[in-house]
Structure 1
Amino acid sequence: MAFRNSTSCVGVVEAIQDNLPALYFVFSRGRTEQLAEELGREWDFLLPEEKARVEEYLTRAEKGSPGLFAGRRKHLQRLLQQGIGYHHAGLAPALKELVENLYEARLIFVLFCTETFAVGINFPAASTVFDATRKWDGRNHRNLYNREFFQMAGRAGRRGFDKTGHVYVNIDEKYPEQTGFFNEEEVEPVHGRLIISPNTVLSLLHWKTDAEIEHYLSQNLAVYQNTRETRDLADELETLEQKMFSLRSSFCEEKDGPSCPLLRNKLKKELNRLRNRRRRKKPEVPGRIAEIKSILAEPAKSCLHDDCRDAHDEITALVERKKELVRRNRYLKKHASDYHQDFQRMCRLLEQLGYIEGKQLLPRGLFALHLHVQEILVTELIFSGIMREASPAEAACILAGIDYMPGRDEVVLPGEFPMDDVAMLRTELLNAGVPENLCVWSPLPGPLAEAWYKGATFEELQKMCNLHEGDIFSVVRREIDILRQIERAAGEDASLKVAINDIRNVLDRDEMAVLI
C-alpha cells in the first residue's frame, strides 16, 4: 500500500493499526526521533501490566548504565513506556540493546529505525513502513536500490504469527517514479571490489611468492565478474547482430525507395509536421515540402507490408538494446581496475617513503604490516617521533582523529593540545604524493579522547559536543582498536608497547568497555 507524502506518521499508524508491530524505516537519525515524538503525542499502545514490564527493563538498564536517559534521551524513556521507540547508530550501545530487548519482548509496537536495523539483526515485524524511498548516499539523493528495498521490506511477516507480511510506502508526489519500480527479479548483484591498500601490498610482498601475487591480482572476484560480464555482453551483441541480419532479409529491394509503403507513411507524417504554421516560416521548409511531394507523386508499390513493418519495429528495438550494451561495455572498460598497475603504483609510493626495497620490507614496512587503517599516517606518527614525544593524554588526543571525517555541523569544545605538528605531518605526506584517502585525520574528536583519558564522565563528554552518544562511543572504540594494532606493530619495542598498552587500558573503561 502507498500513502501520499502529506500523510503524517500518526495517520499511517492509524491506517495500519491492525497490522502492528511495525518497523518504520526512516533515512535520517534526527527524523527517527522526530517521528517517534510525533506519534508519542497521540498514541499509547501499552496496557498497565505491559508498562510494568517495561519499567522492569528500564530499571535494569539504568542500574547497569547510570545516566542512560540523561540529556537528549529523557524523552525516549517516556516513549518506551508508551510502546514506541527509535533505533539508529547515534544511540549508545546500552540504549540500542535496551530497545532491541523491548522490541523482541513485543513491548514496542512501532519502532522508527534507520536501515541498519535491517542488516544483521533478525527482528521481524507484522508490517514494515517506508517513510520515503529516496535517501542520501553521501554524495546525492537517490532512489533505493531493489536490494535495499527488499532487505528492509523482507522484515514484514513473523513466522508463526502472520500469514502475510504487509509493506507500506510513503510516496513523495514529486517523484512519481517511486511507485512500482521495485522488482525482486531485478535485484542488483553484489560486485566484488579489491582495494590495493598499503597493507595489501606489504602483506603480499612479505608473505607471498611472485606467482601467488600474480594469481591474487588476476584471479580475484572483481576481475572474474568484470571478465564474465564483458564476455556476456559480447555474446549478446553478436546475437543481436545475427537477429538484425535475419530480419533485414524480410525487406524487398525497394525498401526505403519512393514506392516503399513504409517510407511513404513516414514522409506523410513529416509533411503534416512541416505544414504547421510555425514551421512553414523556416526558409528550408518549402524546399523539403516540395521534395516530399515529388517522392509521393511516384506510384506506390501495392504490397502487404505488415511483415516489413514488424521487422522494422523489431530492428528499431534491437538497435536501442545494442546502444545500451555498447554503453555498458564502454563503462566496464573505463572503470575496470588494472590491479597490476595499482599494485605497482603502491609499490613505488612505499619505496619512495622508505617502507620497502624491492620485495624486502624495511622497518617502516614491517611496522605498517600490522596496521589495517591509515597505515602510512599512523606509521609516520610513530617514526617521526610525534607519538613518542607526546604525553599519554596528547597521544590519546592525536589518535582519536585517525580515519575520522567530521560531519558538516559537528562541534567539539577545544582541548589542551593544538596538534599543529600532526597537521603539518599530514601536509608533508600529501605533498610527497600520498593519496588523501590514506591521510584521513581530523583534530575535531581529539578533545573528547583527551578528556576521557583524564577521567571525565560520559555525561561530561556529551556536554563538550553536539555528537550523538553513539558517535562519541565510536570515536573511543575506534581509537582503542588502533591502539591494539600499534601494540602488535611495536614488536620488540618494549617501551612503545607498554606506553600504548597503558593508554588503551585507561580508555577502555566504564561505558566504553566492551565485554567479549
Structure 2
Amino acid sequence: MELTEVSCSEIVEAIQDKLPVLFFVFSRGRTEVLAQDLGRDWDFLNAREKKEVGGKIKEAEAEQPGAFSGPGWRSLRRLLLQGIAYHHAGLLPPVKYLVENLYASRLLWVVFCTETFAAGVNFPAASAVFDSTRKWDGHDFRILQNREFFQMAGRAGRRGFDRIGHAFIRVDSRFPEQTGFFDDKAIEPVSGRLVISPNTVLSLLRYKTDEEIDRFLNENFKMYQLKKRQGLLKEEIEALTGRISEIEAGLCSENGTLTCPVERARARKQLKRLRWKNKNREKDLLQKQIALATPKKCFNSKKCMALSERLREVQTYYQTLRQEYAAITQQVESVFTEYREVRDLLEKLGYVKGREFFARGIFALELHVQEILVTEIAFSGLLEDSEPADAAAILAGIEFIPGKNTRTDILDLPALQQTYLIRHELLKMGVPERFCIWSNLPGSLAYAWYNGATFTELMEMSSLQPGDIFSIFRREIDLLRQIERAAAGNTALIERAQAIRGQLDRDEIALSF
C-alpha cells in the first residue's frame, strides 16, 4: 500500500485496525517531531492503562532519577501516557529500556524508531510503516537495500495475534522510485570483512606461527568469498576465450580490416559521426585509411556481419570479466599487502622487530581501539604527568568523529594541545589516519564530569544528545580498563587509570540496562 504525502495522523487513522505499529524513521530528530505531531491528535490509552503507564514511569524515575531529568523528558513522558513513544540511540539507556518495557507490556500503540529497533526480536508489531525508504549512509542518501527493508518490515506480524503482518511506505512524490522494488528473493549476500588493525598484526606475531598467519590471511570468510568469485570468473573467462576462437574461425581472413565490406560500411558511419563532432583530424585520417584499402567482394556479408556483431558483444563481455577478475585479484593481494604494511609500520615505530616485542608492542597488544595513538599518548607520559581531569579529557576524544553540527564548549588545555601534536607527528611519520582518530571536542565534557558536573550541565555544554554523551564515557571507561591491563608493571599508570575510571563511572554514566 502506498501512502503519498499524508500526515502521521492520517496514516494511523487509515491503519487503526492494524495497530500496534513500528514507524521507522531515518533521523533521530524526526522520530521526536513525528511523535509530537501524532500526540496532538491521538490518545490511545484508557484511564486504567494510563494509571499503569504512570506507575511504571514513577518506578523508573525513582530508580534512576538522573536519567529522567534531561530536556525532552517531560514531552516524552506526556506521549507515553498517550500510548505513543520514540526510540533512538540519542536516549539514555534507562529511557530506552522504559520505552521497550512499555511496548512489551502492550501499553504503546505507535513507536517512532530508527532502524536499530528492528534488531530487537522481542518487539514485533501488527504493522511496520516507513517514513521513507531513503537513508543517509554517512556519505550520501541512498535507497534501502532489500535486506535492510525486510529486516524492518519483518517486525510486522505477531505470532499468535496476527494472521499476516502489514508494511506501509509513505511515498515522497519527488522520489516515486522509492517503493515497489523490494524483492525477498534478491536479498543482498553477506560480505566478509577482515580488518587488519595493529592489534590484529601484533596478536598474530605474538601467538601464531608463520604457517598459522598465512592460513589466517588465506582462509577467513572474506578471502573465501573473494577466491570463490575469482574461480568462477576464471572459468567464465576461459569459456569465453574458446567462444571467441570459435566465432573468429567462422569469419573470413579480411574481417577486421578495411578491405572487408562490413568494416568499410562501419567506417563510413564513423566518418559521419566525426563530421558532426567537428573532429576533422580524425576524420581525415580515417578517410585516407579507407581510400588506401582495396575493397574485397564478400559473398556472405549477412553471415559475416552477424558473426562480427556477435564477436564484438562477446569481446566486450570478456573485457568486463577480465576487469572484474583483475579487481578481485587485487583485493586478494591487498589482504597480504595490508598485513605487511601494518607490520612494517609497527617495526618502524619500534613496537616489534621480527618476532621480538618491545615495550610499546607489549603495551599495544592489550589495546583494541586506536592502539598506536593510545600507546604513544601513554608513552609520552601525558596520562601520568597531567592532572587526572586533563587525562580524562584526552582519552574522551579517542575514536570520536564529530558530526557536521557537533558543538561543545572549547577547553583550552595544554594536555589537549600536546595530544594534537602527538597525533600530528604520527601522521607525518606515515601512520594512516584511521589509526589516529581523535578529537578535542569531548574533552570539555570529560573534564567537567570528572570535576563533578551534573549530566544536565553536560547537555547544556554541548549539542550532543544524552545517549551520545553516555556512549563517549562508556567507551572511555572501557579504554581505561584496557590501559590498566596494558600497563602491567607500571603501578603509577594503573592507579591513575583506575582513579579516572572510578570518577567517571558514576550517576547517569554508571547506568546499565
* Structure 1 residue 163 corresponds to structure 2 residue 163: yes
Q: Give the drift of 1:318.
A: 7.0
Instruction: State the TM-score, normalized to the length of structure 2.
Output: 0.86
Q: Give the drift of 1:243.
A: 7.2
Summarize the alignment of residues 19-38 of structure 1 with structure 2, pairs less than 5 Å apart.
19-38=18-37
Residue by residue over 1:134-160, the C-alpha shift from the partner in whole angstroms, topping out at 9 and shown as x without a partner, is 111111111111111111111111100
Give unpaired runs (5+ residues) of structure 2: 257-261, 288-296
Alignment match, 1:291: none
Counterpart CA distance in 2 for 1:24 and 1:430 is 44
Residue by residue over 1:363-405, the C-alpha shift from the partner in whole angstroms, topping out at 9 and shown as x without a partner, is 0100000000010111111111111111111111110001101
Q: Which of 387-396 and 181-190 deviates more? A: 181-190
Counterpart CA distance in 1 for 2:243 and 2:113 is 50
* Structure 1 residue 406 corresponds to structure 2 residue 405: no
User: Residue 474 of structure 2: SS of its match in structure 1?
Assistant: helix
Q: 1:426 is matched by which residue type in structure 2?
A: R
Counterpart CA distance in 2 for 1:369 and 1:334 is 29
Alignment match, 2:472: 475
Judging changes above 3 Å, is the alpha-carbon distance between structure 1 residues 123 and 383 closer, same or farther for their aligned structure 2 residues? same
Counterpart CA distance in 2 for 1:242 and 1:179 is 43
Equivalent pair of 2:94/2:512 in contact (CA under 8 Å): no
User: Residue 397 of structure 2: SS of its match in structure 1?
Assistant: coil
Percent identity, aligned pairs only, is 49
Alignment match, 1:49: 48
Alignment match, 2:202: 202
Alignment match, 2:504: 507
User: Residue 186 of structure 1: SS of its match in structure 2?
Assistant: coil
* Structure 1 residue 441 corresponds to structure 2 residue 427: no
Residue by residue over 1:176-198, the C-alpha shift from the partner in whole angstroms, topping out at 9 and shown as x without a partner, is 33232211121111111111111
Equivalent pair of 1:89/1:471 in contact (CA under 8 Å): yes
Counterpart CA distance in 2 for 1:104 and 1:315 is 63
Q: Give the drift of 1:241.
A: 6.3
Q: Which residue, 369, 376, 385 being the options, matches 1:380? A: 376
Counterpart CA distance in 2 for 1:337 and 1:25 is 41
Alignment match, 1:185: 185
The count of residues paired between Structure 1 and Structure 2 equals: 494
Q: Give the drift of 1:319.
A: 7.3
Q: Give the drift of 1:27.
A: 0.7
Alignment match, 2:73: 73
Q: Which of 10-19 and 317-326 deviates more? A: 317-326
Counterpart CA distance in 2 for 1:171 and 1:316 is 43
Give unpaired runs (5+ residues) of structure 1: 257-262, 289-297
Q: Give the drift of 1:14.
A: 1.6
Alignment match, 1:9: 8
Q: Which of 178-187 and 35-44 deviates more? A: 178-187
Equivalent pair of 1:69/1:77 in contact (CA under 8 Å): no
Residue by residue over 1:62-81, the C-alpha shift from the partner in whole angstroms, topping out at 9 and shown as x without a partner, is 11121404312221111111
Judging changes above 3 Å, is the alpha-carbon distance between structure 1 residues 341 and 323 closer, same or farther for their aligned structure 2 residues? closer
Counterpart CA distance in 2 for 1:441 and 1:225 is 33
User: Residue 65 of structure 2: SS of its match in structure 1?
Assistant: coil
Equivalent pair of 1:415/1:447 in contact (CA under 8 Å): yes
Alignment match, 1:329: 325
Counterpart CA distance in 2 for 1:313 and 1:86 is 60
Alignment match, 2:217: 217
Counterpart CA distance in 2 for 1:222 and 1:323 is 25
Counterpart CA distance in 1 for 2:162 and 2:308 is 52
Judging changes above 3 Å, is the alpha-carbon distance between structure 1 residues 234 and 72 closer, same or farther for their aligned structure 2 residues? same
Residue by residue over 1:336-376, the C-alpha shift from the partner in whole angstroms, topping out at 9 and shown as x without a partner, is 45222212211221111111122111001000000000101
Counterpart CA distance in 1 for 2:10 and 2:252 is 64
